Amino acid sequence: MSGEIITQPARRAVFLKKSTKKPRNIVERLFEFWFALCAFLSVFITAGIILILISESWPFFQQVSLAEFLTSRDWSPLFSDPHFGIQPLLMGTLLSTFIACGIAVPMGILIACGLSEFVPPHIRQFLKPIIEILAGIPSVIFGYFALLVVTPAIQVLFPELPGFSLLSAGITMSFMILPLIVSLSEDALQSVPRTLREASYALGATPLETVWKVVLPSASSGVMAACILGVSRAIGETMVVALAAGQQPNWTLNPAEPAATMTAYMVQVALGDLPHGSLGYQTVFVVGLTLLLMTLVFNYLALRVRNKMRPL
Amino acid sequence: MNLSTNSLGSSVKFRHFLSFIFKILSLLGLLLGLIVLLVLIGDLIRRGGDRLSIDFFTNFASRKADRAGILAAWVGTLWVMLITAVLTIVVGVSAAIYLEEYAPKNRATRLIELNILNLAAMPSILYGLLALGLFVHQMKLGSSLLTAGMTLSLLVLPVVIVASREALRSLPFTLKEASYALGATQFQTLVYHQIPAALSGIMTGVILALSRAIGETAPLITIGALTYIAFLPQSLMDSFTVLPIQLFNWLSRPQEEFHANAAAAGLVLLFLTFLLNGVAILIRIKARKNIKW
């Protein structure tokens, strides 16, 4: 028992100092090198993605000015009179993401609260693995749902809705990210100490007030991280929008219209047979670069939020 | 006086009423979410259930919907999963070992950790573009099984690294102390004690990673996987198709009959995903029961 007086990190430090300095033989040294190499591979992946995207986009920007790329409202790179404005694809991505998260974030937080605070523990233990499995349904199956279930269902209510639309893609994506947001938010809510809830009830707060003013604020960093992960899933989601949102680039703010997103455009071109090095082939990488920049900005914001809102 | 207690009483009642509404709403939301997902899966069964027969698994894809099957697709999926599993275990677990056991606390380590967080949130289609530029064109591997396996294992690497690190971290420190006290080196301790003890956690991570890889479509379309294949792959360099791509192909055709095929393929894919997830959960539960530190 006396050994427990030394804290674990301190003991760990002592051991690491002694044992990492002198590996016993060459085999151990080689293995150590291999482990380090594998860990650094992850950095090479990121660097590789950035390098490939920039190097394949470079020739494109020598033919098309950045001003046209950013300001033109036309994206028709494969036509005889090509236009290269990223805006329509960007709008498609933003609009479908906005719809998906507009539904999934409030629903997800509401359901997570219900699951964490009002469902008895034995039922929760049964439901939690089911929700985790639902979070793992492949996105191409959600593409099937969007095309053959959700769109016809919305058409019953609004008969004039076309067969492809951002609306049905967005709604289907919200089902897709809902289990993810619920599962991660519920983890965060569960990790709030019980004493905080008890203190709140002891002061006469109702369950709603306890959840809203005590539990959720304490778990805010985890819930926020769950929502941000959901949003980044929606931005990068490919199969649902490729199948259900349509293939035609379309600068619109109306979610009932069909419009291609950035990811849908990449799939569309990849399915065709464009020769390596042609301008059409390069546009895939240009769109990919734009998507990467969005993702990086987003991940950076997520990191800032997480560091700012450390849990209690 | 009377007035104030009265208003207090009604406001407490009102607050509890609000709270009750919230409780009902959140439980209804949970129920609604589960029902919607059940309806979706029910539609898959209704449309595709009839198509599931022995022929469906032993026929190649065909222009006639009722004779088309998923032989090339499921064999391709099996191959790709095998390659992905091997690469992911070798690289992912090694990286986790380095970060958890060997890495010094410095900026380089911090960079790797941040980078893994970043990779986990990267859209999967960007991995496809990396593979298209690097594996297909620079390394001239073509749209082969090997390219697909490498692409998917890069994609799921963060999942395995995070899970394996957690499994290694959750081991009691006494395990290491006992091994060191007997004169083992750090490497021997790892191989003979830490990895065997953390194996169930590591396997859970690997299986969850595979359950994600098995449904990935976008990166494989990007590297140019074919949708119509009438032969089985013989080597790592052969072209291939996988279940999700076959499903996507059938789905993007206008004819109703192909949609039934898509639903049946979707059922097979869904079953495989659930199976992998189920196995992972079982391993976790079993490990929790067996080991009491």
Q: What are the domain boundaries of chain A?
A: 2-63, 87-308
- Cα Rg of chain B, angstroms: 25
Rounded distance, CA A27 to CA A34, Å?
11
Nearest to B272 by CA among B81, B127, B125: B81
Between A17 and A118, the more confident residue is A118
Rounded distance, CA A73 to CA A92, Å?
12
Nearest to B30 by CA among A253, A127, A305, A18: A127
Which residue has 């949003």 as its token pair? A231
Across the range A34-52, mean pLDDT stands at 93
Contact A141 B123 (CB under 8 A): no
User: What value, to the nearest 5°, has the Cα angle with vertex A136 and ends A135 and A138?
Assistant: 120
pLDDT value of position A82:
82
Whether residue B224 is found in the same domain as residue B96: yes
Contact A288 B134 (CB under 8 A): no
Whether residue B201 is found in the same domain as residue B106: yes
- Residue from A27, A38, A43 whose CB has the most chain B CBs within 10 Å, to mutate: A38
pLDDT value of position A15:
53
Total tally of structural domains belonging to chain B: 2
Q: What is the mean pLDDT of chain A?
A: 86
Q: What are the start-end ranges of the E strands in B79-142?
A: none
**Which of B115, B132, B248 is facing A140, going by the closest CB pair?**
B248
Rounded distance, CA A56 to CA A281, Å?
9
Residue pLDDT, tens place only, B201-215? 999 999 999 999 999
Whether residue B220 is found in the same domain as residue B267: yes
pLDDT at A250 over 60: yes
* Structure tokens given for A251: 């600068």
The domain A87-308 having CATH identifier 1.25.40.10: the answer here is no
CA dihedral sign of residues B285, B290, B92, B246: negative
pLDDT at A204 over 60: yes
pLDDT value of position A68:
83
Whether residue B217 is found in the same domain as residue B100: yes
Q: Residue A84 — φ and ψ, nearest 5°?
A: -125, 65
Whether residue B45 is found in the same domain as residue B64: no
CB B70 within 8 A of CB B239: no
Across the range A261-268, mean pLDDT stands at 91
Rounded distance, CA A243 to CA B248, Å?
8
pLDDT value of position B1:
40
Whether residue B212 is found in the same domain as residue B258: yes
Task: Count chain A–chain B contacts defined by CB atoms under 8 A.
Answer: 264
Please report, as a single letter, which amino acid is at residue B146: L
pLDDT at B244 over 80: yes
Q: Which of A12-16, A94-98, A163-167, B221-225 has the lowest mean pLDDT?
A: A12-16
pLDDT value of position B165:
93
Whether residue B230 is found in the same domain as residue B140: yes
Residue pLDDT, tens place only, A118-150? 999 999 988 988 898 888 899 999 999 999 999
Beta-ladder partners of A75 = A84
pLDDT at A111 over 90: yes
**Which of B19, B43, B212 is facing A207, going by the closest CB pair?**
B19
Contact A299 B118 (CB under 8 A): yes
* Structure tokens given for B8: 């207090």
CB A168 within 8 A of CB A196: no
Please report, to the nearest 10 degrees, the dihedral formed by the alpha carbons of residues A71, A75, A78, A81 taken in order. -60
**Which of A20, A136, A178 is facing B186, going by the closest CB pair?**
A20
DSSP 3-state of A19: helix
Q: Residue B143 — φ and ψ, nearest 5°?
A: -85, 65
Which of the four pLDDT bands, split at 50, 70 and 90, describes residue A12? Answer: low
Give DSSP secondary structure letters for B188-247.
Answer: HHIIIIIHHHHHHHHHHHHHHHHHHHTT--HHHHHTT--S---S---STTS----HHHHH
pLDDT value of position B160:
94
Nearest to B52 by CA among B242, B214, B211, B262: B262
Between B19 and B68, the more confident residue is B19
Whether residue B213 is found in the same domain as residue B258: yes
DSSP 3-state of A84: strand
pLDDT value of position A23:
52
Q: Return the top range by mean pLDDT from A15-24, A88-97, A300-309.
A: A88-97
Which of the four pLDDT bands, split at 50, 70 and 90, describes residue B233? Answer: confident
Tell how far CA B52 is from the center of its chain. Answer: 24
pLDDT value of position B3:
45
What percentage of chain A has pLDDT greater than the value 90? 46
Range of the domain at B28: 2-51
Q: What is the CATH number of the domain that holds B203?
A: 1.10.3720.10
Q: Which of A123-127, B34-38, B63-67 has the lowest mean pLDDT?
A: B63-67
Q: Which of A8-12, A263-267, B10-14 has the lowest mean pLDDT?
A: A8-12
Whether residue B106 is found in the same domain as residue B211: yes
Across the range B143-153, mean pLDDT stands at 92
Whether residue B40 is found in the same domain as residue B177: no
**Which of B51, B68, B86 finishes a domain?**
B51
pLDDT at B23 over 80: yes
Whether residue B60 is found in the same domain as residue B189: yes
The CB-side HSE value for B181 (13 A sphere, CA atoms) comes to 6
Across the range A162-183, mean pLDDT stands at 92
Rounded distance, CA A35 to CA A259, Å?
46
Whether residue B138 is found in the same domain as residue B268: yes
Residue pLDDT, tens place only, B87-111? 999 999 999 999 999 988 888 899 9
